[in-house]
Chains A and B, each alone.
Chain A
Amino acid sequence: QKEVEQNSGPLSVPEGAIASLNCTYSDRGSQSFFWYRQYSGKSPELIMSIYSNGDKEDGRFTAQLNKASQYVSLLIRDSQPSDSATYLCAVNPNYGGATNKLIFGTGTLLAVQP
């Protein structure tokens, strides 16, 4: 089982719709969770970070975390063609503070159709 799993997509949504991206992780002790956006040929750009169970909203983006189910999701409201990119889920295992690294999923390719 991969440590961080995402559906590779592509996920195609019409402009203005809600895009829902999902991620599961295997290490129950993981503490920090991140969503990055990566345009083709560019480096990952931080979209959201979430550390506690529940929802966290920032503009059109909402991250949701459920540690009991080991599940993280990202909702993008009013999707725009400029949101078309690969969305990477990343988890920091943070074992007692001694580990400070990110484990990435393979990413979900989102295509927003005009």
Chain B
Amino acid sequence: KAGVTQTPRYLIKTRGQQVTLSCSPISGHRSVSWYQQTPGQGLQFLFEYFSETQRNKGNFPGRFSGRQFSNSRSEMNVSTLELGDSALYLCASSMGTGNVWYFGPGTRLTVT
């Protein structure tokens, strides 16, 4: 069974721009979550989707948003990029509440 896939793998953007990251979960998984990983803050939860509904949201500004489609694929969007948004963005998928989460390879975003 194929794992979680994320595109693109690397991205360089300029301050003020916006970016959209994509995630395809493991087949059959209906929960998708997003995390931001930085050297200073570690892995921080952004949001979680289940059946196209955002069920949980982390403590991030409104510039960070996401959505999930009917095929469980998910996208996250960051608007008005700041230098501090440079990070590894990880998507994970799960069968459901309490089950294990499997991570994709991540998207490395660099904001200049």
Is there an interface contact between B103 and A45, defined as CB atoms closer than 8 Å?
Answer: yes
Contact with B along A67-111 (1 / 0, CB 8 A): 000000000000000000000101010100111111111110000
Contact with A along B54-69 (1 / 0, CB 8 A): 0110100000000000
Is there an interface contact between B97 and A44, defined as CB atoms closer than 8 Å?
Answer: no
Residues of B within 8 A of A97 (CB): 97-98
Q: Could you tell me the distance between the alpha carbons of A97 and B55 in the complex, rounded to whole angstroms? A: 11
B96: interface (CB < 8 Å): yes
Is there an interface contact between B42 and A100, defined as CB atoms closer than 8 Å?
Answer: no
Residues of B within 8 A of A62 (CB): none
Contact with B along A1-44 (1 / 0, CB 8 A): 00000000000000000000000000000011010100000111
Q: Could you tell me the distance between the alpha carbons of A99 and B44 in the complex, rounded to whole angstroms? A: 15
Q: Which of A32, A46, A104 contacts B43, CB < 8 Å?
A: A104
Known: A88-B43, A101-B33. Is A94-B105 also a contact (CB below 8 A)? no
Residues of A within 8 A of B56 (CB): 99-101
Known: A98-B55, A103-B45, A107-B42. Is A44-B98 also a contact (CB below 8 A)? no
Is there an interface contact between B102 and A100, defined as CB atoms closer than 8 Å?
Answer: no
Q: Which residue of B lies closest to A100 (CB)?
A: B97
Is there an interface contact between B103 and A32, defined as CB atoms closer than 8 Å?
Answer: no
Q: Could you tell me the distance between the alpha carbons of A99 and B101 in the complex, rounded to whole angstroms? A: 13
Is there an interface contact between B45 and A101, defined as CB atoms closer than 8 Å?
Answer: yes
- Chosen A-B contacts, 20 in total, with CB atoms closer than 8 Å, are A32-B99, A42-B105, A43-B90, A44-B43, A46-B100, A46-B102, A90-B101, A97-B97, A98-B55, A100-B50, A101-B45, A101-B56, A101-B58, A102-B45, A102-B101, A104-B42, A104-B44, A105-B42, A106-B42, A107-B42
A residues lining the B interface (CB < 8 Å): 31-32, 34, 36, 42-46, 49, 51, 88, 90, 92, 94, 97-107
> Closest 8 A-B residue pairs measured CB to CB?
A104-B43, A100-B97, A43-B103, A101-B45, A106-B42, A43-B106, A44-B103, A49-B100
